[in-house]
Amino acid sequence: MADTNAELTRERLLGMMTGFKATYLLRTALELGVFDCFAHGPADAGRVAHAVSADPRAVRLLLDALCGAGLLEPAGDAFRLVPGAERLLVTSSKEYFGGNVNVAGSRWEWDIMRSLPDVVRKGGPVADAEAERPGLPFWTDFATHLTGLTRAGAAHVADVLEPWAAGRDGLRVLDVGCGHGLFGLTLAGRRPAGHVWCQDWPEVLEVAARHARRQGLGDRASYLPGNAFEVPLDGPYDVIVLANFLLMFSYDRCVGLLRRLTPALAPGGRVVIAGFTTGDADPRQEYHAQMLGLLMLATTEGGATHSAHAYASMLAEAGLTSVRTHPHDRLPVRVVEGERP
């Protein structure tokens, strides 16, 4: 984002007005597999058109636009990737980041947010609370496509709990609304006999299971498919983690869920909430969290990017003590934990 402390200019407004064009350009190139055509060096429009089964003239226009966007560059009569693109935009790369367009630039979000004026007038979703619907493809995409922030956030939670967990061979972790499962997997993976129970919709748990196997933790992960407000919880657990989950619900529903979870926690165990928050800093420094709050307004009944103070109050109302907040110097996430007496 542009410097929000700077004077507002026509150029800055124009950038906001046309930002969606960069999204549809990138989505199109990724969907067609254009960047893979340059994995082994320059290629001309005809060769790319043949590889992606598309019209040669249209492909030439697309490649010129990708040059204009700084994703390709001319190479004589051909084109080539700009530095870094072979690492981030070619699907065979271990650092491939293009799949995240299905989350950061999802069609689901675009379709929903076109109704934002009506959402604001009404004060909530114009239709069903989409984000809570079982089978929503967005959550499978969210679980599939990890970012550097995902791994860093999971490591931060594990670091926060490390002094308390040190010396334990086993750690029983329940990851509620787990998505990719990385928060619970990281916690359990740091202990020789740690085990994680991942809770989410069945189709999302299939993705979490793949992540568990990739991390060599397939035999240390179990799965609880269903609604977090209804699924049998089993237990007891040493840690219950809720990462980027409670923002989907109102304050009162969050307290109700925490009260449901707390009896599944062993005495002395911890409940950990992690994710974006708002109200803990100048709003100009919370752009992504504030935008996420608008998405929750449009897709949930009362969801919001709550403040760290609100999360601390929720834990206290659920009967947890020793509530503490742990910000991170370089990450836009906060961790709030409480202990069961």
**Residue 1 CB-density burial (10 A; 0-12 exposed, 13-18 middle, 19+ buried):** exposed
Rg (CA), the chain: 22
Task: Let me know if the fold of 10-91 is the same as that of 131-339.
Answer: no
Strand duo 78-81 + 72-75: pairing: antiparallel
Strand duo 334-339 + 265-275: pairing: antiparallel
CA distance 302 to 113: 16
Place of tokens 């990138």: 26
| Peptide bond just before 236 cis, omega within 30 deg | yes
- pLDDT tens string, the chain, 341 residues long: the values are 556 667 899 999 999 999 999 999 999 999 999 999 999 999 999 999 999 999 999 999 999 999 999 999 999 999 999 999 999 999 999 999 999 998 989 999 999 999 999 999 999 998 777 788 888 888 998 898 877 788 899 999 999 999 999 888 889 999 999 999 999 999 999 999 999 999 999 999 999 999 999 999 999 999 999 999 999 998 899 999 999 999 999 999 999 999 999 999 999 999 999 999 998 888 888 889 999 999 999 999 999 999 999 999 999 999 999 999 998 888 888 999 999 99
**Residue 310 CB-density burial (10 A; 0-12 exposed, 13-18 middle, 19+ buried):** buried
Q: What is the pTM of this model?
A: 0.89
CATH number for the region 10-91 comes to 1.10.10.10
**Residues forming beta bridges with residue 335, ordered by sequence position:** 274, 326
CA distance 126 to 143: 26
Measuring CA to CA, which residue among 157, 144, 150 is closest to residue 187?
157
CA distance 115 to 150: 29
CB-CB contact of 191 with 171 (8 Å): yes
**Hey, what are 290's tokens?**
């504030």
How far is C-alpha 85 from the geometric centre of its chain's CA atoms? 22
Measuring CA to CA, which residue among 106, 127, 107 is closest to residue 118?
127
| CATH for the 131-339 domain, from 3.40.640.10, 3.50.50.100, 3.40.50.150, 3.50.50.60 | 3.40.50.150
Strand duo 334-339 + 72-75: pairing: unpaired
The domain segmentation of the chain, as residue ranges, is 10-91, 131-339
